[in-house]
Amino acid sequence: MSLIDFILNLAALLLWLNWRAVGMTATTRPSVLSLASALKKADPGGSNRWLYLVALALLLVLRSVFYWQVGMPMRWTPAIRLGVIAPHFRSDFFARMLLFSILSFVVVLAVFYLSLILVSISNRTVPDSDPIQKIVRLQLGWLGRRSTAVQLLLPFLLTAALWFALHRPFAGLGLIPLSGSFAELAQQSVIVGLGAFLAWKYFIVGLLAAHVLSSYVHLGNSPVWNFVDVTARNLLRPIRWLPLQIGKADLRPAAGILLVLVIAHYVSGWLTRLYQQPPL
């Protein structure tokens, strides 16, 4: 069931991206990454753009019905992992499954945009002549043109504020324990905000793995692989000084993957313990 939920979240993300892409085709050249580019030619006014949002809403509602009907017989209790805490949802209540369906997609969407922010920061010097980098900046909108400090601070503040606002409703539903004081809730909100950046490990590991693959297997001259190689080199810049190149074999991507996994493991454990402690 968790795999089905992941696949449906990817489908929902594609619907969201197509909705965004139709609005951007007026300022971008057609790209193989954007299905909406072809649709734009057939529908210059973009009158069908909102159909993507309608389809997205239907997908979220219909899959919540599916989870409600199938989850209980399978004894499935889904959870949403938020870095330092993972609220669980009972599948025998439709309202809980609807809430889970919406929040599950919101988390995937947040992870996607956090990954775009990381790309924007690491590839700040890459010009808009790179078609993938231009799409990244267009997806981020005004945030893609802000400083690194703003790009890091805004997701943290937004995540912390959302947790602060949603804490009492979640506690009322029995999803999480109720904080004992304002200070404890404020501390937990800060920790959840910091924990959001742990999602970067999935993107970094996946990108570096793709970089290793493209380094040893010729996959053509697609802009996608050129973008992967440039982004990987920029992400590996902090460890570029390490003597990890043996002949033609560059071990720095593997070292970067290991380093990210180790750091994420220890930071996650530290934040989890801090979340469970009384206010500092």
Helix (H) or strand (E) holding 16: helix 2-24
Tell me: the pLDDT tens digits for 179-202? 878 888 999 999 999 999 999 999
Of the given ranges (39-43, 184-188, 242-246), which has the lowest mean pLDDT?
Answer: 39-43
User: How confident is the model over 107-135, as pLDDT tens digits?
Assistant: 999 999 999 999 999 988 888 788 888 88
Structure tokens at 255: 């070292």
Q: Could you tell me how far CA 210 lies from the centroid of its own chain?
A: 18
CA distance 78 to 87: 9
CA dihedral over 232, 15, 34, 156, signed as positive or negative: negative
Q: Confidence class of residue 263 from pLDDT cuts 50, 70 and 90?
A: very high
Per cent of the chain over pLDDT 90 is 35
pLDDT value for 38: 46
Q: Region 15-34: what's the mean pLDDT? A: 66
Reading the block at residue 98, the tokens are 């609807």
Q: What is the pLDDT of residue 81?
A: 86
Checking if the pLDDT of 34 tops 60, the result is no
Domain limits, the chain: 2-276
Nearest of 63, 83, 78 to residue 15 by alpha carbon:
63
Instruction: Classify 249 as helix, strand or coil.
Output: strand
Q: What percent of the chain has pLDDT over 70?
A: 89
CA dist 97 and 64 (Å) reads 5
pLDDT above 70 for 41: no
Helix 200-216 and helix 94-122, axial crossing angle in degrees, nearest 10: 60
Question: At 165, is the pLDDT very low, low, confident or very high (cuts 50, 70, 90)?
Answer: very high
Confidence class of residue 46 from pLDDT cuts 50, 70 and 90? low
246 contact partners, CB below 8 Å, separation of at least 6:
none
